[in-house]
Structure formats: structure tokens, C-alpha cells
Structure 1
Amino acid sequence: MDVVDLSRNNVLCKITAMNGKIWHCLFLYGEPNVDHRVTLWAELNILLQPYTNYIIVGDINQVDLYSNKLGDANLIRGWEEFMSWKHALQLKDVPFCGPRYTWTNNRDDSDLIMERLDKAYASQDWFDEFPATIVQNLPIIQSDHGPIWLQTTPKPSNPNRPYQLENWCLRYPEVVTITRDIWQLRIAGSPMYTLARKLDSLRKHLKAWCLDKKLFGGINWRKIFSELQNQASQVQTITQGAALVMRHRPLMNEASLALTYWHQRIKDRHLQLADIPSKFLFNRLRQKKTHNYVYILKSATGEWVENHTEIANMIQSHFENLYQASARGSPTVNNNGEEIDLVLRD
């Protein structure tokens, strides 16, 4: 990067990429005094005339839209001169994301003024080169200005999909109660309007209920086992036995619902990550590996073998005999051999 021009209000830099492409970036501090801005726009117009592929970024110190101003008088001073300069250079607004207002006077109540002063403009050639360019507005923290972040290749954002009611929710009686209560509401209007309002209200109530009911921990089987064991050890009468059964049912229902919930979480994460080499994938593989273990194996003679080394030798010997070489030197498959019977013991 080389500095082409330097002044009190701007720094024009020439940027050369590794592939040899060249573009220019003008870092601008707009004139705070509105009476002096016309002179600045004229100087920048002359400065940028030789270039076609450039971007202007910084504290422009000029509001160009009423939507970028909050508070104070409705009149935007210096607007006509700025728009004339902008149109003369055929500048285009760089889209932004984040907070709209990047400057505040830090006053209270009706004296508060907020404006979007920090932004970027670019030429058409720039957008042809970097069509995805955006400016990310960051929050105002220490200064009266918020920092902005220019991104030529922003990371693609994952679109928020509509909230979905999951299967585990349908097993709670509260869901039926919420649905029944909302459906019995009296709403004035046409049948389609009434249906739309009820569906919208039902969606909001069910979403709030699901988020409030969402589980943030696993199933504490140790706690359930301990509680049932303590209560079962004290059973000596029919009444105590009935109390144990009454306590056992809600505990198992709650555990079953939690199990359904976490199965749904695993399914969602699998759909999102698929076979990406992630921590989630390797944890799943380790879990499957513990289940895919041969504890006992039946030999060709009908004997059950439990020794790990003998089981490995049996499997190796079986496949060596199965894919043995024939007299002509080509491998043959012995279809008449004994089949290996695997038995997994819990």
C-alpha cells in the first residue's frame, strides 16, 4: 500500500494486490464546519477524477438521508452540495449492517442527537470487483463515534429459519391447554382474519413456552436412581408401594421427554454438520465404537470363545480361508465355509 495524496481531511492510498490488480482507498474525515464542506467536495472531485476503481470510507460528517438522523431539526444542512458531489462522481452507497447510528452527542432526553456519519461510498468499478462489499457498524462504546469495519468478502450469514415446534413439546399437556385456550378466543373480523390472528398468537405463545421449557442439561439418571432406591427401600405397606409407583411414573415420563428432546438435538446437529470433521462427529464415532465390540464368538466347532486374542485369531483365520488363492493363483471365495455368528452381550 502506497500513499498517493495526504491532506488534513483525507489520505488517498494505492493498494496493489498480490495478483497485480490495483485499486484506491480514500480515508476521509469530513469537514465539521458545514460552510467549508463545499471546498472539500470540490478538492475531492479533482483528486478522484483520474481513478475509476476506488472506495471512500471514514467519518464523512454529512447526513444524506432523513432516516440516518435522529433528533434535532429536520433540516439537513449541506445536503444539496453533498448530493451534487456524490452524483458527479457517480458514487454508490456501500450497504451496512449493525446499528444504524454511528455518532451521538451523548445528551439526555430531547437533547439527544444520533446520526449515521461513518460510512462508505464506492465507484461502480469497485462494486464490479467486490460486489459483496459491506460496512459493519459496531456499537458506540468509549468515543462519541462507533467504529466501522469494511469487508470486501464478508462471511455468509446463516439465514434464520422459522422456529419449529418439535416432537418433544407435543407430549406435554400444557401444549394442548395453550392451543385450546387460544382457539376459544373471540376475535372480531372475517374468518380468515380470525384464523390468522389465532395462528399468530398460538405461534408466539408456543415459542415462548418451548424456550422456557427447553432443557439445558442432560438426564440425571443417578439422581433418579437414588431417589427411587431410597423410596423403594422404605416400602413396607401397600400405601407406600402405591406412593412409590406414583412417584416412579412422573420421573420416568420426565426422563422420557428429556431423552426425546436430546435425540432431537442430536438429529438437528447431524443435519447441520453432516460428516464435517468436527468434535461432534468424533464424539458420535467414539460412542458407536463402544457399542461395536465383540464380547463372545461362536467357533466353527460350536464352542463359545470369550478370550479377546482367540476371537481376533478366529476372525482373521475365517477371512484367510474365505479368500484363499486357488491353484491358478486367482483368489476364490469359499461359499461353503462356516458363517461367523456374532453375539453382543449387554
Structure 2
Amino acid sequence: MNASLPWYLVLFYGEPEQSLRMQVFDFLGSWLVSLDHPFIIVGDFNQVEFSSDKLSAKTGSIAGAMSFHNWRVEHELVDIPFKGPRFTWCNNRKGFRRVYERIDKAYGSKDWFSNFPNTGVKHFPIQISDHAPIELCFNLVKNSCKKPYEIESWNLHNEECTSPFRLVRKLAFIRNMLRKWSIDKRKSWSKEWDCFDERIVEAMDYTIISGNSDLAVQVNNEGRAGRNFILGIKDFAGNWTYDPICIGNLFYSHFYGIYNPISDDYVVALSTTPASSNTIIFPRLAEFDVLFQRLGALKSPGPDGYPALFFQKCWHFVKNDVISAVLNILNSGLVVTRCITNRMSRVMSYLVGEFQNAFVVGRHIGDNVILAHEAIQNINKHFLGIVGSLLLRPI
């Protein structure tokens, strides 16, 4: 501690009323500008800045947190680290209504740690009051913890490591923001469902009392659709067909082409396929556009939690980062499975038999299930007396 340097100690109490809180912060900020020496502010701010400083059963955004954070950044205030229990206030309620927050804290000027580097705040347990006592220390002994891995300088200068790292960090940031947005939306949707449930109960009561089920039918139609029917389908040329007979013929021709191959001679040596030596070269930039548009939009996401739909919708934003990361991995000797799959799809028709339905573009593993279901249903429908049908499965 530099004993010869003058400094200011500001004791502060935040406005309890949310609507007036920022007015008090703005007044404090205008007064801090006049201070010509390092200063530290200690007190009850009555405002949580980060979600990690609040523990409650409710989730979502914190009222006033963003405004307070912008005010603190604008005045270049530094959060003083603390030691001890994380939360300094409790509403002393029971069960799910109990809330913990860190609102008693200290902030220093931007030059505070240059003169008092070991400053810290010691938190004591919440015992008598709803607030925990805090102590300002100028030589605080930090909590011992496992030292994290330090990024060495060669990591930052090595281009092979930077592009995937940047992509992962950006995706992680977006995922956290989308999670917060989804939680907020889920709350509003749950309220709409609660209203719908109330209408269902009202319709049931009305039906029992009056004997008229019109209201119940109306609410039922609002909440769930009727049975699904195939009213139209696109043919192979992309034209819509609405005639039931034509729809049946399209289904028949589709499955007939799958299960009745033209030739049984489908095993072709790889050396006789028309694939050129270009199959092995690194992907061109235009190939990435085609590759990501062919991905299943709503298939199971990868370890990053993002379905392919995210990259397809936001491709013009994430394109450069994704391409840089993929090329970086390819150049380092690893394999990007989707690029390899895209290249192999050019020769798949020469390697896989026409009876194979799974893992081939244009064929679906569910076709077998649909065909078996329709065949059994057809047998059950036309069963009459002692005359029946038989399904044979070749081995």
C-alpha cells in the first residue's frame, strides 16, 4: 500500500426503487469526475450486475443490470475482487421464493490497482441481518485455487490454432445469448398455454351445464389440428399433383424404383469408376456453399449444440470463420467428415447396391418401415374368410 498517496473513500447506498436507481448512479458519476486522486466506492448498491451474482428459482434477465453495467464501463470503474461467500444479501424467504444476491461490493477507479494492487473485499456469512458484513482489505490473501492453463505466446502467433479457436468462442457466445432469449420466450409461451388450459376447463363446464358442445369443439380446433391427410404432393419434375390416383401412382413408382433395381450387377471396382483425381484435393470455396445447403437442417446437432439450420440461415455471417477453421483442420492433417462424405457421394452409386437404403443420398432408411407397414395394413384390410395373403422376406 502506498501510504504517501492521497485517495478517496466513498461510502454509497443505492436507491431501493428500481425506477429511480439510475438517477442516483448518474448523480454519483457526475460527482466522481471531480475527484483528482484514486478513489474506491464501498456500499450497498442495491443492483446486481451479472447473472452469476444472483441465485433464485426464477431465470431470465435481471432488471437494471445492463444499464448499470453500461454506467460502470462509462466511468471506468473496476470491480474489486472478494473472498468468502459469494452472496451478501438474502430476502429470508423459504422454499422457491428464497433469493440470494451480491449487492454489497466495492468498485475502484481505473488507476486504483496501480497504487493498491492487493486490495480486496472480505465477505462474512449472513447471520443476524439480511445483509452480510463486508470488510475492505488492502492486503487481502486470495483464495487458493488450481492455477489455470496459461496461453503461451506461441499459441497466439501460430495461425493453425487461431481460426478454430475464434470460431468456437464465437459460437459459444451466440449459444449463451440464444439460451437467454429462449428462456424469456418460453415464459411468455407458457402463459399463453395457461390461458388455453383455462379455456379448455371453461368449455368442459359449459358443455356439462348446457349440453352444447360447440364451445368445446371450437377450443379443440384452436389447440390441435385434425387428422393429417395428404392433399397434394410434388412429382419428380417439381409439379404439384392433387389427384388421389396420381398421388398413389407417384408413391408406387417411387418405391417400385427402389425395390426393383434395373440390374443386379451393381458391384463395380473402384478403379473403373469415373471419379477423377480431383476427388482428393482440398475443397474449393464454392463447394462449402453447396455442402452446407445439403446438410439436414434439423438433424441432431453436433457437440457445439448447433443444428445445420443455424449455419444455413446465418451463412453470410459465419461463412468466413467456418471456411477458415475447416481449411485449417485439413491443412493440419485431420479429416472433416462432411467434406469427405461429399467427395465420396460422387462414387457411392458405383459402390453401394440399389437394395441398400441407408446412408445414401436420395434413399431413406424409413422406406423399409413404411413399405412393411403398408403391406401389413393392406393384408389386414383385404382379409376375407379363409382367403388371405402372405408376405415373404427373401434372405
TM-score interval, smaller chain: 0.3 to 0.5
Larger radius of gyration: 1
Greater RCO, CA 8 A, separation 6+: 2
Q: TM-score, normalised by structure 2?
A: 0.35
Scaled by the length of structure 1, the TM-score of the pair is 0.39
> As a proportion of its length, which structure holds more strand?
1
